[in-house]
Amino acid sequence: MEPVGAATQVCGQMQRAGEVQAVVGAAAGAVGAIVVAAGRGERFRPGGEASGKRPKQFWPLAGQPVLAWTLTQVARTEAIEGLVVVVPPEYCDSRAGQSGGDLAWLWQEGTAWREKLWGIVRGGANRQESVWRGLQTLPARCRWVVVQDGVRPLASPALYDRVLRAAQQMGPGGGAAIAAIPVRETLKRATATSPQGGGSAWRVQETVDRSMLWAAQTPQVVFRPWLEEAFRRAQAEGWQASDEAGLLERAGFPVQLVEGEAANIKITYRQDLSVAEALLRAEIAAEGVLPGRTELRSAVAAGGVPAVRVAGAKVAARRMRVGMGADVHRLVEGRPLILGGCAIPFDKGLAGHSDADVLTHAIIDGCLGAAGLGDIGQHFADTDSRWAKARSVDWLPQVRTWLEQAGWQVEYVDAVVWAERPKLAPYREMIQQELARGLGITPAQVSVKAKTGEGLGWVGQGEGMAAQAVVTLGPVR
């Protein structure tokens, strides 16, 4: 943990506490929130396998990232006037106060939290350091600090209010309170044994009296001077605690318990997403809509990631979506012919800003259309120098990421290339393999057909090529 008073990184730029205002605008208010989303989810194993590089807080839940649901509920709490989000270091870049492309949706205008978002902070090596970094970026005027796990998306605004009120009512000298629920299961203390045949096992030693035991949740609310003093003591004496209440206890500060909510689950394992979605749907069934919650819309932020809007809309049951894409390019001399990422021997190539891969362009358009994420021109504009002479097939992994962030994955692609010449049948298998690789699916999920113009029109006269694609999406599993 950095020494007390040291600067903390706000996504690539060094800022001292209070100076974050220069990055994200004026910050005001007596209550500020730190949303801790810097973990890497080592226990999160989607589908029984390693989750790869994407932390659980960015996995889709009912159509949007888990973190988006959490931020919405924090922002809906009127007493909280602003918040900072602490994210994994690799999700920050060098732009002042801005997150990297993968998190550009955090800054999208019109979300429930955008007006309250004070900054995005580079996380530390552990939770304690991440909270400390977030604390340093809160404006000095924030006298009360709300700490919330980014992977507790279902905590209600009423719970935030109850915990805050309990902390503030402890007395004029400060206060602290946390959400917690009484332990309901019977608890056993066990000892490790070594059974015959090797391995390990656990044997019950005794049953633990649960009558005085509570399971801690977040939010946790603390009078800021108390929390800062606890951090100073922890740094000086080498403490590590699993939550803020643990630091306060060690420093001698009293902590009030407030009964939490059973629905306020923490997303730890893959199956927790299913539980959380079921709870969301139960709330929808009870209320019809989720006032103030958010959902992905059919628009795209400038960085090419799904935008998020405030809506009182229902979270639709996700079955399947179908999108259609199309593209045309003129044939010219002096250009290679690229179709589906593969070089096809021919005396002409397709004209365009990138490699003019008409087939890949149609498939991308179909993917984006099915997910309601706009079209290829919004993401890979032919006026953007970054895409000059680019291999279009290299865009497919990014498109796949956007689909997953929106809760979708490609199930099947059926495409047609209209070209008088050359004959594409000898290259079809190679093309299907290349497209499948980019989309993260099997070649059996990609069908590419070729048709001629029978000598009719500009295709039949060999002036250009066209492609059409139908893309089927299913929910991320």
| pLDDT tens-digit series, residues 139-196 | 999 999 999 999 999 999 999 999 999 999 998 889 999 999 999 889 999 998 876 6
Confidence of residue 98 (pLDDT cuts 50, 70, 90): very low
Give the pLDDT score at 134.
Answer: 96
Among 3.30.1330.50, 3.20.10.10, 3.30.390.50, 3.40.50.300, name the CATH number for the domain at 321-475: 3.30.1330.50
| Residue 224 in this model has a pLDDT that exceeds 80 | yes
Portions of the chain given CATH number 3.30.1330.50:
321-475
| Residue 43 in this model has a pLDDT that exceeds 70 | no
Among 50-54, 133-137, 201-205, 437-441, which stretch is predicted with the lowest mean pLDDT?
50-54
Give the pLDDT score at 285.
Answer: 54
By three-state DSSP, how is residue 416 classified? strand
Give the pLDDT score at 50.
Answer: 41
Among 239-243, 277-281, 284-288, which stretch is predicted with the lowest mean pLDDT?
284-288
2 CB contacts (<8 Å, ≥6 apart)?
8, 129, 132, 133
Give the pLDDT score at 44.
Answer: 59
Whether 337 and 350 have beta carbons less than 8 Å apart is answered as: yes
Give the pLDDT score at 16.
Answer: 37
| Residue 323 in this model has a pLDDT that exceeds 90 | yes
Whether 400 and 440 have beta carbons less than 8 Å apart is answered as: yes
| Residue 270 in this model has a pLDDT that exceeds 50 | yes
Which architecture does CATH list for 8-185+209-310? Answer: Alpha-Beta Complex (3.90)
Q: What share of the chain is helix, strand, coil (3-state, %, to 5)?
A: 30, 30, 40
CA-CA-CA-CA torsion for 425, 430, 433, 437, nearest 10 degrees? -130
Confidence of residue 1 (pLDDT cuts 50, 70, 90): low
Rounded-to-integer distance, Cα 122 and Cα 37, Å: 10
Q: For 348-354, what is the mean pLDDT?
A: 95
Confidence of residue 271 (pLDDT cuts 50, 70, 90): confident
Among 90-99, 220-229, 304-313, 359-368, which stretch is predicted with the lowest mean pLDDT?
304-313
Give the pLDDT score at 196.
Answer: 60
| Residue 452 in this model has a pLDDT that exceeds 90 | yes
* 61 vs 97, residue with greater confidence: 61
Rounded-to-integer distance, Cα 291 and Cα 452, Å: 53
Rounded-to-integer distance, Cα 380 and Cα 375, Å: 9
Confidence of residue 301 (pLDDT cuts 50, 70, 90): very low
Give the pLDDT score at 274.
Answer: 81
Phi, psi for residue 330 in degrees, rounded to 5: -80, 145
Give the pLDDT score at 64.
Answer: 81
Portions of the chain given CATH number 3.90.550.10:
8-185+209-310
Most confident of 5-19, 264-278, 359-373: 359-373
| Residue 391 in this model has a pLDDT that exceeds 60 | yes
Q: For 308-330, what is the mean pLDDT?
A: 66
Give the pLDDT score at 2.
Answer: 60
What are the strands, taking DSSP E only, across 260-300?
294-300
- Percentage of the chain exceeding pLDDT 70: 80
Give Cα 339 to chain centroid, integer Å.
Answer: 32
Q: Dihedral of CA 432/436/438/439: which sign?
A: positive
Confidence of residue 96 (pLDDT cuts 50, 70, 90): very low
Nearest one of 134, 108, 145, 170 to 10, comparing CA atoms: 134
| Residue 287 in this model has a pLDDT that exceeds 80 | no
320 CB contacts (<8 Å, ≥6 apart)?
411, 472, 473, 474
Average pLDDT, the chain: 83
Give the pLDDT score at 307.
Answer: 34
Confidence of residue 68 (pLDDT cuts 50, 70, 90): very high
